[in-house]
Structure 1
């Protein structure tokens, strides 16, 4: 008995008498069952309340409840597969326009241009495909692959040699076999690029329609043009004109190109 009395005098808080627990203050949580909470004590063994801390505890409790509600709502939506409209807003989609002359619903028909200096020229017409005008001095030849060539020798051109002086333009309508106009131009470009210096295809106006064009440079020089007559028929134009003496053949080929029309 004497030992117990001496321990109590050493500052150890005596075991409080069991009383009915009072309900927790508003804004505070009740102590968890089975968890021992040791109150702060003074030297005399009485409870020293944390003055001014109730407001802070109340704020933390509210924040904790809000976080729990957010987590619970997120878990519900993720688990059920439902997503609020604010998270996944509806968006409108627009159809992108197709590249030039790659898709058609009808045959293209272009009106012939009035080109100065071509009033008395002759007209070549391939029914349902294309037509063009050419000078009286020009010669027309048709080949087995369907090419139509208009040519005129220059003053220095010699028979039995390679072509190096004069007017030379070929026209050929062909089936693209399912390829787009750009794919067709790119394919020809890659073939020629293996042998000659060739510029990359660019969008160009041919017969008043959007097409593609590129140039083979160097000694073997030529301008290649591709345009669609309709969805199953394309037109290839090769301008291989050479004018070393400035006799006007380059100007003539440009005028011929301006007179090209497509369709019926």
Structure 2
């Protein structure tokens, strides 16, 4: 049987999603290794999971989706609660459901969403600091939003990916991007068919330069066209970034939070 899980995690204490060692070996803690170890205990056999999108060290997830295969007879509630009881407090399985054998957490997804939260005030945060980035310079959220619209559509995002990115090409379809202010907090939301390594954090770092008045709004379009990482802004810190989750066609009958709607 193939099963899909929705997982949330605080990435602060992990070296990212991807397992860095072979099953059974010890090493730096990762979310994947914690999830696989917990599921393996519940299943009473080794379990390997495939995720919708890997996250870097310090990055969080509101609804990471994974799939795995098992011959063990368990109810969905048993998988969910059994795995969660064996996971660190920073990781929780929110839902579990059987899916068709050809479902793939990564390749069946048609979009992925990220949210970056930035505290914009003179002093650093004390509360919720593990989920917020911080910028002391006053930022113009409207200017950032306007500049970001130049990134919409299918483009070559070489200027916004790390030099260590292993993707075979840099073309991605950025479907939505918005910057909104609520008091001292800026929320930057991005949706694309897929993302490159550090793509969101590099976009945010560049938008901050626009918001602070260091660069004009037109600069973002110029950086995109240049296809040169050295011309973009710095990489924004990881702690403000949350993987909001992937989106799948309704035919997979997954929970509404990961199912693409008519206006998505």
Pick the TM interval, shorter chain. Answer: under 0.3
Greater Rg by CA: 1
Normalized per residue, which structure has more helix?
Answer: 2
Question: Which is bigger in relative contact order (C-alpha 8 A, separation at least 6)?
Answer: 2
Q: TM-score, normalized by length of structure 1?
A: 0.22
